[in-house]
Structure 1
Amino acid sequence: MGYQLLSDTVVLLDHKAAVDKIYSNYKFYDDSVVSASLKSQLFRIVSPYDRKNTVSDDVGQDVNRRRSKKKKVAEVFDETTEKVRSNHSEFLKLSNLPAPTEECDNRTALEFVDGFNRDDRYDRSKTYNGANSTQFVVLAEFASQSFLIPPNCRFFNSEVSNLANLLAPDDRFDFVVLDPPWWNKYIRRTKAVNSKISYQMLDNNSIGNIPLGDYVHENTIVAVWCTNSPTHVAAIRDDFCKKWKLKLIANWYWVKITKFGEPVCDFNRSNKKQPYEQIFIAVGENNSTFEIPKERFIYSIPSAFHSNKPPLVDLFESLLPERPKCLEIFARNVYPNFTSVGTEVLKLQNANLFDVVKRV
């Protein structure tokens, strides 16, 4: 299991363990391969990003020092941030994580990801699809690169706007995850420098026009990742759910922490970067049976890849069929029992991101 339930509302989720169990529980089609696991460097987040400049020069460190002086002024937090901040204090008491014992930084994780992105040849513009209908993990070759394809999955490397042409009219899913590339001016400027970071951003109208409502049933559970932008939150609450034939039932929070439980950046005023994101949970509009906590705080060490979210399906296992039919939109991974759609659908399945163990 990739998570610990510390209380009714507090969860410690292990992203790496959740993925690694796939490649240890299932056999590989190539019987010379014993198992695979995500490289540990991806999760070596040991220090808050804003505490010090982990990969920059002395000029950057001077800027951080000046910023830290300004931080001495007492912050006034909005209601949501104060709620998450308060829960983080509870989490520290429940988790019993160790205190940092030595001076350390995130250089290993960040340099590994920088190197991968620099050498990456993934082509978002190509449209293709594939599937693994076996109960084995397959190591597949695409464009001179190797990718791990888990059992019982299918994938479409395509714009999400093509969804209606990719799925069958009678496709209905038990669990759906969306991680939309929400419009963000700051991220837009960053991506101008490095176009390999992630998906091209979409405005709220484009996201809301995804025909998700055609692929849900009464007992479908939908998880939508969201920024803390009031505009984006309002779009989900007031617009998307109605369009998608859903009923919003819960507002969860993903709190990004270091190995030692510290938030990856300071809690800030509402118009600044926060160490948490929101997850909205919805069900079919006529559903009246599921009992899902209205609030839940999920703590995990984030992957060093920008916006790479931890898998959530295990948190809903008790509410889903034994072999659920799942859908992920804007996917960069593929998982067992999932149909995955997006222009980077296999990017983080690259074998270079895994330690692959072979028989001697």
Structure 2
Amino acid sequence: MASVSACDEASPPSSTAAPPPPTTSSILFHAGNVVLLDIPRSLEEAQVPPGLPPSARIVSGAPPLKPFTTPEPRDGATADHWLRSSQSAGAHIADLMAAAAVQSALDQLHSRYAGLFCLPRLCNAPDGLIPQDFNDRKIDTGGTTSADTATSTATSAMDAIRTPPRAEYLHGSIRHLRQTFIDRAPQFRLMVFDPPWPNRSARRKKAGSYNTASNLSEIQKLLSSIPVASHLASDGLVAMWITNKSSVLDLVTSSKGLFASWGLELVTQWTWLKITSLGEPLFDIESTWRKPWETLLIAKRISAKAPETLKPRVILAVPDVHSRKPNLRRLFEEYLGQDYTALEVFARNLTSGWWSWGDQVLQFQAPEHWVDVEISTTIV
């Protein structure tokens, strides 16, 4: 495993101090519709059954100390033209509502909370990048290691994968494992999607970061092939991460969009506000070009009744390594109970008690991404 050191939100990485064992909850603050969540701890908690303390620490990226600068239009006319040409009226209103919600959540957090905005982390590099050797190994589209190309090293790596208790996974493409999913998967009370939406900035990153679709037509076809209607429980929920592009929102929520094709209707949305380790938005909330939040759309069957307490929510969390989302298991326990059946599609790690499906489901389950608790407390 690569060298790992402690990195905390208020000072440079230390060569002598190590983070405490993972006993603190991932939910650092919760009041009404505002939640402060620690992303690495949420992933650590997800490796064990609900209610049990995590047994290992995940290797993370250093938390950002300061907001990022964002290029802005030089004059108001340019910004207005961009908004008129690229956003529907509904999407523009959604942006305004999201901005108001996250500002209100920030105000509430800073007036009622005086603790850390993220827990101390274990880092193996200043930028939080992970070793590429495991990411670059190719797994065939059937979901198993190719007999023709696999090496003994790759086989050993697969054998060492950390598999949480009662975690089920389909490791491979949606297209090639669709029938396997239909044959084996139960009905789920929660289905979480983190689709590889087209993203030019992601494609500019070096190879090995993560794959994205080339266009919306491609990802729509892929998502439409997933048999949601036949595997969602009658009272089940679907949660989908989307980008801030109005075309993505329309593709999912319009009258002929994905939710409608699955027999679903939108219930509410949660907003993940990305903050620094000092509690500031990662980007200016008023920024035209780059928003400091991502949106989680939550839907139900058209004929079903939504949980009465399921309302809009703002999740504040300091980002971790690129594209790593908060684990949602604990946040949905409030609505679905502790042992609900769940599926995560396009997952990059496994969750105890859940099914995971996609060609990167083992991305962060390799041994180099984890340190056992009894070891992590003595790291120097």
Q: TM-score with structure 1 length normalisation? A: 0.75
**Rounded Cα–Cα distance in structure 2 between residues aligned with 1:154 and 1:24:** 13
1:224 maps to what in 2?
240
Answer whether contact 1:252 1:278 (CA < 8 A) is retained.
Answer: yes
Task: Give runs of aligned pairs for residues 142-157 of structure 1, distance below 5 A.
Answer: 143-145=155-157, 146-157=160-171
Q: What's the CA shift for 1:309?
A: 0.4
- Number of the residue aligned with 2:304: 287
For 1:18-52, what per-residue CA distance to the aligned partner results, in whole angstroms no more than 9, with x for missing partners? Answer: 222355779xxxxxxx931113x4253322233xx
Q: Do residues 44 (structure 1) and 63 (structure 2) align?
A: yes
The normalised TM-score by structure 2 is 0.72
In structure 2, C-alpha distance between the alignment counterparts of 1:253 and 1:266, rounded to whole Å? 16
The offset of 1:325, in angstroms, is 1.6
The answer to whether the Cα contact below 8 Å between 1:265 and 1:274 also exists between their aligned partners in 2 is yes
Residues 269 and 42 (structure 1 numbering): CA distance in 2 closer, same or farther, change over 3 Å? Answer: closer
Question: How has the CA–CA distance of structure 1 residues 35 and 121 changed in structure 2, closer, same or farther, with 3 Å as cutoff?
Answer: same
Matches within 5 A, 1:147-296: 147-169=161-183, 171-188=186-203, 190-191=204-205, 194-201=206-213, 203=216, 204-211=219-226, 212-238=228-254, 239-270=257-288, 272-296=289-313
Contact 1:199/1:343 (CA < 8 Å) preserved in 2?
A: no
* SS across alignment from 1:195: coil
In 2, Cα distance between the equivalents of 1:22 and 1:6? 19
Tell me, which stretches of 5 or more residues in structure 1 are unaligned?
27-33, 51-63, 100-105, 131-140
Given the superposition, is the C-alpha separation of residues 347 and 208 from structure 1 closer, same or farther in structure 2, using an over 3 Å criterion?
Answer: closer
1:45/1:109 contact within 8 Å kept: no
| CA deviation string 1:190-231 (max 9, x = no partner) | 14xx12111232524224413222211211111100111111
Aligned-partner Cα distance in 1 for 2:235–2:344: 17
RMSD over aligned CA atoms reads: 3.4
Structure 1 residues 161, 310: CA separation in 2 closer, same or farther (over 3 Å shift)? same
Other structure's SS at 1:44 match: coil
Q: CA deviation at 1:247?
A: 2.0
User: 1:177 aligns to what SS in structure 2?
Assistant: strand
Letter in 2 for 1:265: F
Q: Which amino acid aligns with 1:243?
A: S
1: CA distance, partners of 2:49 / 2:170: 25
CA contact (8 A) 2:170 2:357 kept: yes
Paired residue for 1:59?
none
Evaluate the alpha carbon distance shift between residue 251 and residue 180 of structure 1 in structure 2; reply closer, same or farther with a 3 A threshold: same
Aligned CA distance change for structure 1 residues 16 and 98 (closer, same or farther; 3 Å): closer
Cα distance, 1:268–1:297 mapped onto 2, change above 3 Å = same
- Deviation of the 1:163 alpha carbon: 4.6
- How many residues of Structure 1 are paired with residues of Structure 2 in the alignment? 313
CA offsets, 1:161-199, max 9 Å, x none? 3353121347211111100111123333x14xx121112
Q: Is the 8 A contact 2:271 2:296 kept in 1?
A: yes
Q: Report the Cα distance in structure 1 between the residues aligned to 2:199 and 2:293, rounded to whole angstroms.
A: 16
In the TM superposition, residue 5 of structure 1 has moved relative to its aligned partner by 5.0
Larger deviation: 253-262 or 178-187?
A: 178-187
- 1:178 corresponds to which letter in structure 2? F
Report 1:1-360 matches (<5 A): 1-4=25-28, 6-22=30-46, 35-39=55-59, 41-50=60-69, 78-87=95-104, 88-97=106-115, 111-114=126-129, 116-127=130-141, 129=143, 143-145=155-157, 146-169=160-183, 171-188=186-203, 190-191=204-205, 194-201=206-213, 203=216, 204-211=219-226, 212-238=228-254, 239-270=257-288, 272-304=289-321, 306-357=322-373
Q: What does the per-residue CA deviation read over 1:236-287, in whole Å, with 9 as the maximum and x for residues that have no partner?
A: 11111111122210011001112211112222444x1211000001122221
Residues 1:357 and 1:217: Cα distance change in structure 2 (over 3 Å): closer
Can you list the C-alpha shifts for 1:292-327, whole angstroms capped at 9, x where unaligned?
Answer: 4331100111112x2110111211113325422211
